[in-house]
Amino acid sequence: MTRLFLVDDHQLFLAGVKAELEGKAEIVGVASDVDEAITEIRRTRPDVVLIDVHMPGGGGLAVIGALTETNPEIKFLALSVSDAAEDVIAMIRAGARGYVTKTISADDLAEAIDRIKAGDAVFSPRLAGFVLDAFAGGLPVPIDVELDQLTAREREVLRLIARGFAYKQVASRLNLSVKTVETHVSAVLRKLQLSNRHELARWASDRKIV
């Protein structure tokens, strides 16, 4: 079972997720603020951290920023009610391997967590839309258009995800294996994360995200 850590400043939501994932993941700890999250995650060393984008004290970005340096083996899945594309993209660029909205069903969430643990990326339709927008220059996100261009296939995969298809359905529509779809999605993730870290930090602080 996946060793899971939950970070969210809403107690009600924490309790809900805990109950829903009963028997689907081993919850090794919860935290409701940035400092507590950093200390406890270092101590419990979970496989996957389910983390809220918006929290007092710097938000999920601060937690991911502090832990990717010291504990690169820990994987993050961002979860939010936020619709601000910039915030979500910032989490992905900082190192989160996926993004889902809080309205996700328990089964889908459990599947996403397992996928993250296996090292894959989890793209919800909304995230796929944000990413397509970001690479098209439609978002105020610093992407080097010269270096970080998506291939036609990657764009095709993202479009199908944005249309609401699961990875398996995307694979069968494009006559690919699920593994290949996962490879394409991971490649997109890498391209998002490639850019200069300093540039991202400056951009995030300009926008008061951190």
Partner 1 sequence: MTIPDQAQITVDPWATRVGLFRRRQDRVIAGVGGGLADRLGVGDVYVRAAFATLATMWGLGIVIYVVLWRLTLDVEDDRPPRPIDSRQRIGLTLAFIGGLWILTGMGLVLDGFATAVVFTLSFGTAALWDRSESPSLARIILPDGGGGRSVVRLIGGMVLVIGGLGLLFSSVSAVSQLGFTLLAVAVTVAGLVLAFGPWMYRMAQDLGQERRERVRQEERAEVAAHLHDSVLQTLALIQRSEDPRKMASLARSQERELRGWLYGRAPVPGEDLLSTALEGAVAKVEDERHVAIDLVKVGDATLDDRGRALVGAATEALINAAQHSGAARISIFLEVDGETADVWVTDQGKGFDQKTVPPDRRGLADSVFGRMSRHGGSAAVESRPGEGTEVHLAMPGVKAIGIQL
Distance CA 10, CA 33 (A): 10
* Residue 100 contacts residue 109 (beta carbons within 8 Å): yes
Quick check: 4 binds partner 1 (CB under 8 A)?
Answer: no
What is the side-by-side order of every strand in the sheet holding 98-101? 26-31, 3-7, 48-52, 75-80, 98-101, 122-123
CB of 89 to partner 1, least distance (A): 13
Quick check: 159 binds partner 1 (CB under 8 A)?
Answer: yes
Which residue of 57, 119, 140, 164 would you call a contact of partner 1, by CB under 8 A? 164
| Binding segment (CB under 8 A) for partner 1, from list 19-27, 39-47, 64-72, 161-169 | 161-169
* Residue 95 contacts residue 195 (beta carbons within 8 Å): no
Quick check: 138 binds partner 1 (CB under 8 A)?
Answer: yes
Quick check: 3 binds partner 1 (CB under 8 A)?
Answer: no
As a whole number of Å, the CA-based R_g of the chain is 16
Quick check: 41 binds partner 1 (CB under 8 A)?
Answer: no
Report how far apart, in Å, the C-alpha atoms of 135 and of each of 11, 19, 24, 99, 193 are.
Answer: 36, 38, 35, 17, 12
| Binding segment (CB under 8 A) for partner 1, from list 16-24, 41-49, 109-117, 122-130 | 122-130
Quick check: 156 binds partner 1 (CB under 8 A)?
Answer: no
Among positions 70-89, residues that touch partner 1 (CB under 8 A) are: 81-84
CB of 54 to partner 1, least distance (A): 11
CB of 73 to partner 1, least distance (A): 30
**145 token code pair:** 């258009």
